[in-house]
Each structure stands twice: as structure tokens, then as C-alpha cells.
Amino acid sequence: MPDDLDLPPDEALVEAQRLLDEDRPFHAHEVLEAVWKGAPEPERELWRGLAQVAVGITHLRRGNLRGAQALLSRAADRIEPYAGAPPHGIDVDGIVRQARALAEQPDDPHAPVKLRLTAP
């Protein structure tokens, strides 16, 4: 990913989803992190949390269960306040539920994680 990646939120969600679907959570993290760094203040913690979910999955895939659990729990806490009015069609409830489930009881750490960023 280029250091100066600048995608609008809807395009970033599509790109991050593509990368997650290809089992490339670290690259999805970089896309989401780029949006977080340029997001307006009201959405900043949402994007930070989304980036943390992706990097938490990265830690899980690499066998760092303790790091994954910490990041996924913090990410869920950051994202949850947006459940009442999620911007950009983000599936806040689904992401929070899955992040907490992975933090509490990770499945096979080497199995790809199926995560939907937007509501169906």
C-alpha cells in the first residue's frame, strides 16, 4: 500500500473487504488506517477500531493470541458506540460481535476469518 493512500470511505471499505476476502488482513488494516488518519473527528474512533480489528486478525493468524485478544477487545470497544447510527453502511453490530467472539474464544488461529465490513 502506498504511504499516501487516500481513498474515500466507501471505496476504502470495498478495498479493505476485498483484501479481507483474500485473507490479507494486514493489507486491509493499512487501507483502514489510511482512512482513520484522515477521518473527521466524529468518525475517527470508528476507523481506528476497524483498523484494529484487521490488525487483530493479523495477530491471530500469526499465532499471537494475547496480542490478538487485546486488539480485538479494544477495537470492539471503539466501534460499539457507532451502533446507533453506523455511517457508510458499516455493520457495526456484526463486527463488534465477531471481534468479541474472536477475542474470547479464537477459532483455529490459522483459519481465515470471514468478516463483513458492511451490512448485507
List of the chain residues with pLDDT < 50: none
Q: What's the confidence (pLDDT) of residue 113?
A: 84
CB distance 56 to 68 below 8 Å: yes
Query: What is the pTM assigned to this prediction?
Result: 0.92
- In angstroms, rounded to a whole number, what is the distance separating the alpha carbons of residues 5 and 91? 23
Q: What's the confidence (pLDDT) of residue 31?
A: 96
Q: What's the confidence (pLDDT) of residue 105?
A: 76
- In angstroms, rounded to a whole number, what is the distance separating the alpha carbons of residues 118 and 15? 12
Helix (H/G/I), strand (E/B), else coil: 118: strand
Q: What's the confidence (pLDDT) of residue 112?
A: 78
Q: What's the confidence (pLDDT) of residue 51?
A: 97
Domains and CATH numbers, the chain: 9-104 (1.10.3450)
32: left (phi over 0), alpha (psi -120 to 50) or beta: alpha
